Chain A
Amino acid sequence: MLLKIKENNQIAQNVWEITLAGQFPYESVQPGQFIMVRIGRGSEHVLRRPISIAAVTEERLTIVLRVVGEGTKWLSKQSVGEQLDVLGPLGRGFPLPPSNAKVLVVGGGIGSPPLYLLSSKLQALTPDLDLVLGFRTKSECFWTDRFSQLGNLVITTDDGSAGRAGNVLDAVEGMLQSGHKWDYVYACGPQPMLRALQQYFSETAVQGYVSLEERMACGVGACYGCVCRTKDDAFSKRICADGPVFDWNEVIL
């Protein structure tokens, strides 16, 4: 489907926020789902780029992306009023917890955007939501004001230029020591971060869901390009179609 660009703004170093409008099943979007966006107009680019849905209203879709290569660079340069060819919403999103569960949301860098949509849903379910977002440095931080309206937000930066110095796991440990308890953890970010969280909570009853990222080709489950191994060693799971969100007890990170 073709969606029109309503806004396209740089919001941090190498990070852009694009808002789209047009015919799209907005009401069906689950937090954690993504869209596949076509790049360019000719046949130079054959693969769409998977980008998670950061926010959705009844008539708008917002994505946040980091410019990492040619495709995302092209997206960052598209003007308001131009159209993007989009497939979606795709994949399986985050299962929501029962009401009043104690929930921690952990985001790493450009893994944070889908957690915004998730947290806005969690806000209605849980009275005090804990949010930890990690960035490398202050210039890469984005949407901290928006996230802070959804829960108790802790920001970390590797260099200490904003928030707490250190990584998200340091912050999570600190919160645990000061008495925080959680029933559910939701995370999206670099794989080492997800693995660290998975290991940290492995001996506990905390239920966790992680959203994974991988280079994709089809985005719909047909090509087996993006896969992850599972602990029961069954046939690999497809991140695009069986995920991108997985129970952290299920996957090998």
Chain B
Amino acid sequence: MKGPDLSVELAGLKLRNPVMPASGCFGFGREYAKYYPLNQLGAVVVKAVTRLPRQGNPTPRVAEVTGGMLNAIGLANPGLEAVLNHELPWLAKQDVPVIVNVAGAAVEEYVEVARSIADSGLAAAIELNVSCPNVKAGGISFGVDPGVLKNLVAEVKQVCRIPLFVKLTPNVTDIRELALAAQAGGADGLSLINTLIGMKIDLNSRRPVLANKIGGLSGPAVKPVAVRMVYETAQVVDIPIIGMGGIATGADAVEFIMAGASAVMVGTANFTNPLACPNIIAEIRDFMLENGIKSLDEIRGCAL
């Protein structure tokens, strides 16, 4: 008997399965390659890349909260040159599509980094980060205004020869407006949601735990919010959606797919269990077998 087909097509990308790590939760892949071959994944999504190296925010940068965590890493990354010279060439040998998350403080920076990544031939797609809640200059400022977002996406799209995904923030009044703006700007797909802004206060020091005071909330605690936003967005856009937010099991992933996601990203769960992604892939397969589902096309958006 032929097993279920987990493969998905995403804006022209052919993925073995719909599961990939979320940007920022997987470094540049090397650390988790010690736990399993990366070609088990649908794709690898690397940490946000900016033109120059960034140290990020002061520590503490992470804190646990009930059912989730807060982070305020602050887009720490070794910069475009190091990523092009050291990280992407290594990833290119891992037999898995690579999606590079790109961040910037100005339109010109996004354009330059996206062009360099796309022209390198080492990435399958770009994910535009317009939703980092932890950096004042840039990031989030591009993700909350539909006009600004549409313009940025259009500018990047002009120089980006590979599929362009736009990662949306949930920290807006109506995510559908931003989704439609990204689509109008030429995005080939959307990924959502980035983290929700949160805070934790230490009762002993009577101060916020994070040095940055606020941070992005992720983990199982955000899943219902994320499912709702994927569902709402899927109702209004024509481009594929990569859903994420608190996915820790195959059942969680299936829920996002039923809400309209074509693929999913797994973030915080990688920290709880380094084998989270392979486990989720196996659990999706089991779910399909148990329910007689031959292809994910059969359930994508079925809840809409």
Contact residues of A with B, CB < 8 Å?
38, 43-48, 70-71, 87, 214-229, 235-236, 241
The answer to whether B59 touches A224 (Cβ under 8 A) is: no
| Count, A-B residue pairs, CB within 8 A | 102
Select one of B25, B30, B60, B64 contacting A71, CB under 8 A: B64
Interface size class of B (residues with CB under 8 A): 35 or more
The smallest C-beta distance from B115 to any residue of chain A, in angstroms, reads 23
The answer to whether A217 touches B31 (Cβ under 8 A) is: no
Q: Does B231 contact A (CB under 8 A)?
A: no
Select one of B71, B77, B209 contacting A217, CB under 8 A: B71
The answer to whether A224 touches B272 (Cβ under 8 A) is: no
Which residues of chain B come closer than 8 Å to A48, judged between CB atoms? Answer: 271-272
Q: How far apart are the CA atoms of A43 and B66 in the complex, in Å?
A: 8
The smallest C-beta distance from A36 to any residue of chain B, in angstroms, reads 9
Interface SS, B side: loop
Interface SS, A side: loop
The answer to whether A215 touches B271 (Cβ under 8 A) is: no
Which residues of chain B come closer than 8 Å to A226, judged between CB atoms? Answer: 59, 61-62
28 contacts across the A-B interface (CB closer than 8 A): A43-B67, A43-B248, A46-B219, A46-B220, A46-B272, A47-B271, A87-B274, A215-B62, A215-B63, A216-B62, A217-B62, A218-B25, A222-B25, A222-B26, A223-B24, A223-B71, A223-B73, A223-B271, A224-B24, A224-B56, A224-B77, A226-B61, A229-B55, A235-B55, A235-B78, A235-B79, A235-B82, A236-B76
Besides A45-B64, A46-B68, 18 other A-B contacts (C-beta < 8 A) = A43-B67, A46-B64, A46-B219, A87-B274, A217-B62, A217-B268, A218-B31, A219-B271, A222-B25, A222-B27, A222-B32, A223-B27, A223-B62, A223-B73, A227-B56, A235-B53, A235-B82, A236-B55
Which residues of chain A come closer than 8 Å to B55, judged between CB atoms? Answer: 227, 229, 235-236
Q: Does B270 contact A (CB under 8 A)?
A: yes
The answer to whether B67 touches A44 (Cβ under 8 A) is: yes
Q: Does B47 contact A (CB under 8 A)?
A: yes
Which residues of chain A come closer than 8 Å to B61, judged between CB atoms? Answer: 215, 224-227
Residue-wise, chain B 246-290 has the 8 Å CB interface mask toward A (1 for contact) of: 001000000000000000000011111110000000000000000
Which residues of chain B come closer than 8 Å to A47, judged between CB atoms? Answer: 62, 64, 69, 271-272
| 7 cross-chain pairs, A with B, having the tightest CB-CB distances, nearest first | A222-B27, A225-B62, A222-B31, A43-B220, A217-B62, A215-B60, A47-B64
The answer to whether A222 touches B56 (Cβ under 8 A) is: no
Q: How far apart are the CA atoms of A218 and B276 in the complex, in Å?
A: 12
The smallest C-beta distance from A217 to any residue of chain B, in angstroms, reads 4
Which residues of chain A come closer than 8 Å to B78, judged between CB atoms? Answer: 235
- Provided the pairs A46-B68, A227-B56, A235-B53 are in contact, do residues A220 and B62 lie with their beta carbons within 8 angstroms? no
The answer to whether A224 touches B60 (Cβ under 8 A) is: no
Residue-wise, chain B 3-33 has the 8 Å CB interface mask toward A (1 for contact) of: 0000000000000000000001111001110
Q: How far apart are the CA atoms of A44 and B76 in the complex, in Å?
A: 27
Nearest to A240 among chain B residues (CB) is: B31
The smallest C-beta distance from A3 to any residue of chain B, in angstroms, reads 15
The smallest C-beta distance from A13 to any residue of chain B, in angstroms, reads 16
The smallest C-beta distance from A242 to any residue of chain B, in angstroms, reads 12
The smallest C-beta distance from B3 to any residue of chain A, in angstroms, reads 29
Nearest to A221 among chain B residues (CB) is: B31
Which residues of chain A come closer than 8 Å to B269, judged between CB atoms? Answer: 46
The smallest C-beta distance from A226 to any residue of chain B, in angstroms, reads 7
Nearest to A49 among chain B residues (CB) is: B64
Which residues of chain A come closer than 8 Å to B71, judged between CB atoms? Answer: 217, 223, 225
Q: Which of chain B's residues 77-93 have a Cβ closer than 8 Å to chain A? A: 77-79, 82
The smallest C-beta distance from B197 to any residue of chain A, in angstroms, reads 17
Which residues of chain B come closer than 8 Å to A236, judged between CB atoms? Answer: 55-56, 76
Nearest to B268 among chain A residues (CB) is: A46
Which residues of chain B come closer than 8 Å to A228, judged between CB atoms? Answer: 59
The answer to whether B59 touches A222 (Cβ under 8 A) is: no
The answer to whether B73 touches A224 (Cβ under 8 A) is: yes
Which residues of chain A come closer than 8 Å to B271, judged between CB atoms? Answer: 46-48, 217-219, 223
Select one of B27, B67, B209 contacting A46, CB under 8 A: B67
Which residues of chain A come closer than 8 Å to B82, judged between CB atoms? Answer: 235
Which residues of chain B come closer than 8 Å to A44, judged between CB atoms? Answer: 66-67
The answer to whether A220 touches B274 (Cβ under 8 A) is: yes
Which residues of chain B come closer than 8 Å to A221, judged between CB atoms? Answer: 27, 30-31
The smallest C-beta distance from B218 to any residue of chain A, in angstroms, reads 8
The smallest C-beta distance from B267 to any residue of chain A, in angstroms, reads 10
Q: How far apart are the CA atoms of A46 and B77 in the complex, in Å?
A: 24
Select one of A38, A217, A222, A241 contacting B69, CB under 8 A: A217
The answer to whether B25 touches A223 (Cβ under 8 A) is: yes
The answer to whether B64 touches A225 (Cβ under 8 A) is: no
Q: How far apart are the CA atoms of A46 and B53 in the complex, in Å?
A: 29
Q: How far apart are the CA atoms of A218 and B270 in the complex, in Å?
A: 7
